[in-house]
Amino acid sequence: MSALLSVTNLSKEFGGVHAIEDLSFDVKRGHVHSIIGPNGAGKTTLFNLVTGLYQPSAGTVTLGGRDITGREPHKLCEMGMARTFQNLQICMNMSALENVMLGRHRHLGSGALAAMLKLPGLRKADRDCREHCRELMTFVGCGDYQDHAASAMPYGALKRLEIARALAAEPDILLLDEPAAGLNATETDALKSVIQKIAGKGITVVLVEHDMKLVMKVSDHLLVLSYGRKLAEGTPEEIREHPEVIAAYLGGGTRQRETQEVPA
């Protein structure tokens, strides 16, 4: 299976401090690829480099064989990349449905003149957009909030709403930055199902997450970061048994079981 996303010798310095250092890895098309590591390992910095929020100090990022290093986020969206954020980026003064529709903008080709004249084609496009976004809200499990104000939604539903908005762009690859943060066990289990359904649609998922039970259940491949460098990578089974990963997380002590074996 070919790599959809490739990172090669990527580095990022902040005032002489290496947040990411000489990092290389591939993300296979159609896989769920999780990135884990202790706090401060560089996971979100890596996401920000890949998605164009940060400019790298060195190295390259390619998507589908095309060099996307340092491309602006809106350009990356046009090329099939979407993401969510560790801290919610929801427009609270808009409805839930309108938030999802924001993610659909690149597929609405009408210009300003058509909008001002309210041409029939534009009205149909708007109806189709609304219907598609309603379907996405149902898909991620927040369909009951379609007609609600975003500000009236519970936190767990807002996390799924942000995923729906990212899916509205019809991405080939979706980057999820700590989607389970702040969720209870029931909400996290629902999120697991959503990630599996997204992968089932053929969308490649790159996941940064601290909930190791979730990571181990949904991932095809894991990358472990430590101080901005690759510590290990492999299948969940390989990572769970990797001696350097165990030492990094547990200081070489007795392994903890299941979700605590390799905490992130």
How does residue 259 score in pLDDT terms, banded at 50, 70 and 90?
A: very low
Q: Which residues of 47-69 are buried (b: 16+ CB within 10 A; e: fewer)?
A: bbbbbbebebeebebbbbeeebb
Decide if 65 is inside a domain: yes
What does the pLDDT average to over 134-141? 97
Full domain range(s) for residue 111: 81-170
Q: Is the dihedral of CA 121, 127, 130, 134 positive or negative?
A: negative
How does residue 264 score in pLDDT terms, banded at 50, 70 and 90?
A: very low
Residue 198 — φ and ψ, nearest 5°?
Answer: -60, -45
pLDDT(224) > 90: yes
More confident residue, 94 or 253: 94
Rounded CA separation 7/9 (Å): 7
More confident residue, 39 or 42: 42
Which CATH number goes with the domain that contains 245?
Answer: 3.40.50.300
pLDDT(148) > 90: yes
* 5 & 62 share domain: yes
pLDDT(258) > 60: no
Contact 158, 94 (CB under 8 A): no
Helix (H, G, I), strand (E, B) or coil at 4: strand
Please give the mean pLDDT across all residues of the chain: 88
pLDDT(109) > 70: no
pLDDT(134) > 70: yes
| Whole-Å CA distances, 25 to 155, 160, 234 | 33, 28, 11
* Count of the separate structural domains present in the chain: 2
Where is the domain boundary, 127, 153, 170?
Answer: 170
- Residues 56-80: tens digit of each pLDDT: 999 999 999 999 999 999 999 999 9
How does residue 118 score in pLDDT terms, banded at 50, 70 and 90?
A: low
Decide if 186 is inside a domain: no
What does the pLDDT average to over 191-212? 96
